[in-house]
Amino acid sequence: MLVRFWGVRGSIGTAITHNEVQAKIRQILQLASPADILSRETVDNFISNLPFSLRGTYGGNTTCIEVNTGPDDKDILIIDAGTGLRGLGNSLFSRDRMKGKDLLTFLMTHTHWDHIQGLPFFGPIYVPGNTVNFISSFDDIEERLRYQQVRTHFPVGFDEMGATKSFAHFPEGSEYEVYDLKITSKSVRHPGGCYSYRLQQGDKSFIFCSDAEFNLETMEDIGPYIEYFTGADVLVFDTQYTFEESLQKIDWGHSSAAIATDIAIKSNVKKLILYHHDPTYDDNKMDAVTLQAMKYKDMMAPSLDLDIQTAYEGLEIRI
């Protein structure tokens, strides 16, 4: 399967600011030497060697992940409908998909705003002839999505979006099969509830676990979760806070990079993706968080082959 990240921010869409852009330009110019700007080639080389926070941005759109699976990656499953979904819709059209006779599937973790606000801006759901399936371990997803588009909240009603919409519920403990994926779920601690999902394709596994609070207290009784995470090829995990912040923000429903790393080590996960970035974190801070998590992993499990990466908009992972 091919996983693409369209939204990585937590809580609210967060545009990069004027001052942040200027600060990047200033730092880049200070780093450049005359030899770096001799030609297009030297410039490109210079840019590619800059830290990620200077040569790009982690992105400000909220949760939306595209999973392509099946023959030629043709089957599309979308995890959550945050603001990143708008760009995904445009991308599908430019790939000549969902123009009136295609089908895709949404897998919904929960319905906090940052996970549903992109849906009314998702072009393919307006095209008659398309079929959009919503699956979730919550049994009232249809009602929740309709509520987002009542007249007082949005000018276009849910039924005015022309695609055929269907809904399926699979409770925790059951397995749902779609395309060539077998999906299971696990409830996680989060205000209002939330589900993590494990996608299994043959011997490959991808786990999405955002909006999930694991803290020192829950770590004492983490056995069933470790079993669920065990051996995942890729684990996307809620790391909204630094460890210090997470001690202040008990019951806010999110975890830290240190806790995520501990869990990934215990579960023998191959690749950990830090996710659901706090809206107050700029790109410099995200670089620092990534580095801190890598150092922590090296300290706790120096010989373990665990890759740690921070999610950014545009990141693609082949599993």
User: Which residues are at the interface with Zn ion (CB under 5 A)?
Assistant: 10, 112, 114, 211
Nearer to Zn ion, 279 or 314 (CB): 279
With 0-12 / 13-18 / 19 or more C-beta atoms within 10 angstroms meaning exposed / middle / buried, residue 299 is exposed
Work out how close the CB of 110 gets to Zn ion at its nearest, in angstroms, rounded to a whole number.
Answer: 6
Work out how close the CB of 47 gets to Zn ion at its nearest, in angstroms, rounded to a whole number.
Answer: 32
Work out how close the CB of 85 gets to Zn ion at its nearest, in angstroms, rounded to a whole number.
Answer: 14
C-alpha neighbours within 13 Å on the C-beta side of residue 317: 25
Tokens of 167: 């809904």
Work out how close the CB of 113 gets to Zn ion at its nearest, in angstroms, rounded to a whole number.
Answer: 8
Tokens of 191: 């205000």
Nearer to Zn ion, 24 or 190 (CB): 190
Nearer to Zn ion, 8 or 269 (CB): 8
Which residue is nearest to Zn ion, using beta carbons?
Answer: 112
Nearer to Zn ion, 112 or 271 (CB): 112
Nearer to Zn ion, 162 or 191 (CB): 191
Q: List Cβ neighbours of 104 (8 Å cut-off, separation of 6 or more).
A: 76, 77, 78, 92, 98, 124, 130, 131, 132, 133
Work out how close the CB of 191 gets to Zn ion at its nearest, in angstroms, rounded to a whole number.
Answer: 7
Work out how close the CB of 62 gets to Zn ion at its nearest, in angstroms, rounded to a whole number.
Answer: 7
Q: What type of residue sits at position 138?
A: F
Nearer to Zn ion, 214 or 296 (CB): 214
Distance, CA of 28 to CA of 67 (rounded, Å): 35
Residues 271 and 318 sit within 8 Å (Cβ to Cβ):
no
Nearer to Zn ion, 55 or 144 (CB): 144
Nearer to Zn ion, 98 or 235 (CB): 235
Residues 179 and 107 sit within 8 Å (Cβ to Cβ):
no
Work out how close the CB of 112 gets to Zn ion at its nearest, in angstroms, rounded to a whole number.
Answer: 3
Number of Cβ atoms within 10 Å of the Cβ of 257: 26
Work out how close the CB of 35 gets to Zn ion at its nearest, in angstroms, rounded to a whole number.
Answer: 45
Virtual torsion, Cα 76, 168, 173, 231, nearest 10 deg:
10
